[in-house]
Chains A and B, each alone.
Chain A
């Protein structure tokens, strides 16, 4: 009998592994590591007369004193603190519904995922315009319910909620992670507790939630990072207004770089955002203990 052998076309030498991962390493060095450190250097410059000059930590100090930066950090933190728990709750709820073994689950899953594809595209912007401008659908529904008009676009207290609602609507990717984790929970666990007289709500808190720990943590980290980097939704929908109540740190970076042409400040703020995200992730790891190996 003829045995088949599979020859590695690049050989099995000492550096084969390195050779194989070199495209990634090159891409990482060029497009991640280099811009990462270059932005730190650029943050240590100042623009004067069209030229960049070394300015040490002056731009960072100016940034920390700037009320615009502090406000943007406040908006970003508030947005993250509201959006992330809500999104986790909604996506977990949707995943639980889809895990109930209903017919045509693939169709529902697709339908629930579609908003995530739309993102903050022009279509979403036009739809939000239709929904939330005065006399829009949201206003009409409030009127039917006998509730007063809400100035969604014009009032800073509600404008941020418009952005939150858009992102909340896009719960598809978080839902998929939960759904996969739910599928991994053995059905025997539920059967066993059912025999012991345990109801579905108690089963959720004693079996489902503890076994979803890693999925919750992963979603928490991913959604927190994404929320803190928010740019496109406020840019497209509110432009950061009114009164900068929706201007996130991501928007501030864009404005400094492309509207005001201040390379130094844009890069300093980028590092400010990096530190903010890094701090948030460290705090989350400390508070939750990170991911645990499943038994």
Chain B
């Protein structure tokens, strides 16, 4: 009887572990070097501008390759990571995916989570990409993804509100704080920062401290570059933004917006909140809800002496599912999205300034390399940027930042104790991840 129980237990253990084990050893369909008729699923997240442009590009693809049908799956960013995580773990991931930078660490730490694109003959053509840019898409030595663009967050302001209040866009941190005083009388706010999926509150405060100290928050190999004092400075900076009416407190923000994203909230659309920190590649969704030309890019803030601290990263990448049955066709489709001139024109800068030289040249030649994404890229080019460590964007890390900021904002902890708790959580987690 006992032996039977042990056998059943062992079988269950084996079955459970095999069901959820690593993808290593999973059957990968080898490329056959030709394009056959098939149906591919393609998923991406974004705002309406990106959805519209991508759907137009898919129509163009259909005219070029009617035998390869693309089924689009798209939505907003909120909850998208969770959706893709479930698909990846359940073996139902789309053939072609727009992926985020940190997903390589969380979904393909050894490079087997996505298809190795370099094993597919001919496609995608990566000759138009800088080798350093391509290196962001490598995991475990395999080319898992191709970066669509390199992007950073910039500051964008509602010019109508700023004009009405006679305010200028700030260029230094001190000017930003002074704007809080100017705006407080009107009930409006010069900027908005969040602790939801965007996590802009932590981001801007890190930029500030990186600029002051010259240290990188988290290194590319996943070590914490900040000391406890640096983390405290981050939280002090954030608290001061709230206290000086530069941004809404978390309680006010949550109370006013509920669960709505900022670009869908009446506060942003009506101009009560007149500024946003956003990726150049994603700012279109904010632009669309305001009157034409109302949203403008502002200078990247400095202390008047240093210009560093601002960050860039591959904004998005295209990857092929490791379990796809059509690697050649999927790679050809990625090639179309990245390098096809007509497609580049249709997509414009809805995913940032293209990293592919072919796409970029086409946009330049047709005068379409403009708009807020381009303004943001230009501003980032003018300062000393650092590349964001993929470890910085891991969801668990974001949870730690947000907990610390929330505790400081609600006054349940002072900045010193919140910084200490955060330091300990971050170092412990990074050590576990690196193992």
Is there a chain A Cβ closer than 8 Å to B364's Cβ?
A: no
Is B406's CB under 8 angstroms from A42's CB? no
Is there a chain A Cβ closer than 8 Å to B410's Cβ?
A: yes
| A–B pairs, 8, beta carbons within 8 Å | A51-B21, A129-B259, A155-B251, A241-B254, A258-B83, A258-B86, A261-B106, A263-B89
Interface 1/0s, chain B 106-137, versus A by CB < 8 A?
11011001000000000000000000000000
**Whole-angstrom CA separation of A52 from B22 in the bound complex:** 8
Is there a chain A Cβ closer than 8 Å to B306's Cβ?
A: no
Known: A42-B20, A51-B22. A129 touches B255 (CB 8 A): no
**Chain A residues within 8 Å of B432, by CB:** 48
Cross-chain contact of A52 among B21, B196, B258, B396 (Cβ < 8 A): B21
**Chain A residues within 8 Å of B6, by CB:** none
Is B81's CB under 8 angstroms from A259's CB? yes
Is there a chain B Cβ closer than 8 Å to A134's Cβ?
A: yes
Is there a chain A Cβ closer than 8 Å to B435's Cβ?
A: yes
**Chain A residues within 8 Å of B64, by CB:** none
Is there a chain A Cβ closer than 8 Å to B399's Cβ?
A: yes
- Among residues of A, the one whose C-beta sits closest to the C-beta of B195 is A241
Cross-chain contact of A154 among B17, B107, B113, B254 (Cβ < 8 A): B254
Is there a chain A Cβ closer than 8 Å to B252's Cβ?
A: yes
**Chain B residues within 8 Å of A51, by CB:** 21-22
Is there a chain A Cβ closer than 8 Å to B1's Cβ?
A: no
Cross-chain contact of A260 among B255, B395, B410 (Cβ < 8 A): B395
**Chain B residues within 8 Å of A102, by CB:** none
Known: A37-B12, A154-B252. A259 touches B82 (CB 8 A): yes
Known: A129-B258, A237-B259, A258-B85. A38 touches B252 (CB 8 A): no
Is there a chain B Cβ closer than 8 Å to A236's Cβ?
A: yes
Is there a chain B Cβ closer than 8 Å to A243's Cβ?
A: yes
Number of interface residues of A (CB under 8 A): 40
Known: A41-B12, A129-B258, A133-B255. A49 touches B250 (CB 8 A): no
**Chain B residues within 8 Å of A54, by CB:** 13
**Whole-angstrom CA separation of A259 from B89 in the bound complex:** 12
- Among residues of A, the one whose C-beta sits closest to the C-beta of B260 is A129
The 7 A-B pairs of least Cβ separation, nearest first, read A38-B16, A154-B255, A154-B251, A258-B82, A41-B16, A50-B109, A154-B254
Is B395's CB under 8 angstroms from A133's CB? no
Is B106's CB under 8 angstroms from A242's CB? no
**Chain A residues within 8 Å of B257, by CB:** 133, 153
**Whole-angstrom CA separation of A241 from B403 in the bound complex:** 10
What is the minimal beta-carbon distance from A89 to any residue of chain B, in angstroms? 28
Is A151's CB under 8 angstroms from B255's CB? yes
Is there a chain B Cβ closer than 8 Å to A79's Cβ?
A: no
Interface 1/0s, chain B 1-45, versus A by CB < 8 A?
000000000001101110111100000000000000000000000
- Among residues of B, the one whose C-beta sits closest to the C-beta of A36 is B12
Is there a chain B Cβ closer than 8 Å to A125's Cβ?
A: yes
**Chain A residues within 8 Å of B113, by CB:** 50
What is the minimal beta-carbon distance from B177 to any residue of chain A, in angstroms? 24
**Whole-angstrom CA separation of A257 from B16 in the bound complex:** 16
**Whole-angstrom CA separation of A254 from B258 in the bound complex:** 21
Show the binding face of A for B, using Cβ within 8 Å.
34, 37-39, 41-42, 45, 48-52, 54, 125, 128-129, 132-134, 151-155, 236-239, 241-244, 254, 257-263
- Among residues of B, the one whose C-beta sits closest to the C-beta of A128 is B258
Cross-chain contact of B259 among A48, A49, A125, A258 (Cβ < 8 A): A125
Is A37's CB under 8 angstroms from B16's CB? yes
**Chain B residues within 8 Å of A50, by CB:** 22, 109-110, 113
Show the binding face of B for A, using Cβ within 8 Å.
12-13, 15-17, 19-22, 81-83, 85-86, 89, 106-107, 109-110, 113, 196, 250-260, 395-396, 399, 403, 406-407, 410, 412, 432, 435
Is B252's CB under 8 angstroms from A52's CB? no
What is the minimal beta-carbon distance from A62 to any residue of chain B, in angstroms? 11
**Whole-angstrom CA separation of A50 from B399 in the bound complex:** 20
**Chain B residues within 8 Å of A153, by CB:** 254-255, 257-259
**Whole-angstrom CA separation of A204 from B317 in the bound complex:** 67
**Chain B residues within 8 Å of A133, by CB:** 255-258
Is A260's CB under 8 angstroms from B259's CB? no
**Whole-angstrom CA separation of A260 from B60 in the bound complex:** 37
Is B435's CB under 8 angstroms from A242's CB? no
- Among residues of A, the one whose C-beta sits closest to the C-beta of B434 is A49
**Chain B residues within 8 Å of A34, by CB:** 12, 15
**Chain A residues within 8 Å of B22, by CB:** 50-52
**Chain A residues within 8 Å of B251, by CB:** 151, 154-155, 242
**Chain A residues within 8 Å of B399, by CB:** 259-260
What is the minimal beta-carbon distance from A72 to any residue of chain B, in angstroms? 13
**Whole-angstrom CA separation of A133 from B259 in the bound complex:** 9
Is A261's CB under 8 angstroms from B258's CB? no
- Among residues of B, the one whose C-beta sits closest to the C-beta of A46 is B432
Is A52's CB under 8 angstroms from B17's CB? yes
**Chain A residues within 8 Å of B196, by CB:** 239
**Whole-angstrom CA separation of A243 from B403 in the bound complex:** 7
**Chain B residues within 8 Å of A155, by CB:** 251, 255
Besides A129-B258, A258-B83, 16 other CB < 8 A contacts? A34-B12, A34-B15, A38-B16, A41-B17, A54-B13, A134-B256, A153-B258, A154-B250, A154-B253, A237-B259, A239-B196, A239-B259, A243-B412, A257-B85, A258-B86, A262-B396
**Whole-angstrom CA separation of A154 from B251 in the bound complex:** 4
- Among residues of B, the one whose C-beta sits closest to the C-beta of A162 is B258
**Whole-angstrom CA separation of A238 from B251 in the bound complex:** 12
**Chain A residues within 8 Å of B106, by CB:** 261
Is B250's CB under 8 angstroms from A242's CB? yes
**Whole-angstrom CA separation of A78 from B60 in the bound complex:** 55
- Among A41, A51, A129, A155, chain B packs the most CB atoms within 10 A around the CB of A41
- Among B20, B21, B257, chain A packs the most CB atoms within 10 A around the CB of B20
**Whole-angstrom CA separation of A37 from B110 in the bound complex:** 29
**Chain A residues within 8 Å of B260, by CB:** 129
- Among residues of A, the one whose C-beta sits closest to the C-beta of B110 is A50
**Chain A residues within 8 Å of B254, by CB:** 153-154, 241-242
- Among residues of B, the one whose C-beta sits closest to the C-beta of A130 is B258
**Chain B residues within 8 Å of A238, by CB:** 259
Known: A41-B13, A154-B250. A242 touches B406 (CB 8 A): yes
Known: A154-B254, A242-B406, A243-B412. A45 touches B259 (CB 8 A): no
**Whole-angstrom CA separation of A133 from B412 in the bound complex:** 23
Is A259's CB under 8 angstroms from B395's CB? yes
- Among residues of A, the one whose C-beta sits closest to the C-beta of B249 is A154
- Among residues of B, the one whose C-beta sits closest to the C-beta of A149 is B255
**Chain B residues within 8 Å of A237, by CB:** 258-259
Cross-chain contact of B20 among A134, A236, A242, A263 (Cβ < 8 A): A263
